[in-house]
Structure 1
Amino acid sequence: METVEQLVSFHHIQVQLSGGAPWGFTLKGGLEHGEPLIITKIEDGGKAALCKKLKVGDELININGSALYGSRQEALILIKGSYRILKLAVRR
């Protein structure tokens, strides 16, 4: 269980990527593995790198306004369903 201090210390960052896939980042973890969804790689020169907001280690918590419940499969479906704009919220 997270303490109030831990919850308050998180920064939530809103990111918007445009232009369509590939978005230029890799996810690891998920409910299936008992881990949070974490960004593990950002491709040099990719859309995620160009926005300069995402960082390796960020936890993905929302895609296009849909709260994530931790499933990597769910996240991938939402990401792949984003044709021109991808809006992410991450916790750092």
Structure 2
Amino acid sequence: METVEQLVSFHHIQVQLKGGAPWGFTLKGGLEHGEPLIITKIEDGGKAAHCKRLKVGDELININGSALYGSRQEALILIKGSYRILKLTVRR
């Protein structure tokens, strides 16, 4: 019999956005809401849309090399602190 781990496989995707804010995506969830940090919207014509690697539903797990502990506030601070380059790792 298969275990849950065998039935569910995740891919980690590295994304690098350049040029500074606004980055062109919206986050929802976080520890504050008892949910993972999920990308809920990608703005048409924005930097996230142009990179073509982010998708709605991706779970944000790392920002600029810093592992996230699930807090939306923590993620927003790291994103706002990114001036020219934003490096993300998402789980899909």
TM-score range, shorter chain: over 0.9
Distance 1:7 1:80 in 2: 36
Instruction: Mark the structure with the bigger radius of gyration.
Output: 2
Change (3 A) 1:5 1:43: same
Q: What do residues 43-63 of structure 1 show as CA deviations (whole Å, max 9, x unaligned)?
A: 000000000000000000000
Identity across the alignment (%): 96
- DSSP 3-state at the match of 2:48: helix
**TM-score, normalised to structure 2's length?**
0.93
Change (3 A) 1:65 1:2: farther
- DSSP 3-state at the match of 2:8: helix
Q: How many residues align?
A: 92
Does residue 29 (structure 1) correspond to residue 34 (structure 2)? The answer is no
Q: What do residues 2-54 of structure 1 show as CA deviations (whole Å, max 9, x unaligned)?
A: 96625971000000000000000000000000000000000000000000000
Change (3 A) 1:15 1:5: same
5+ long unaligned stretches in structure 2 = none
Change (3 A) 1:50 1:80: same
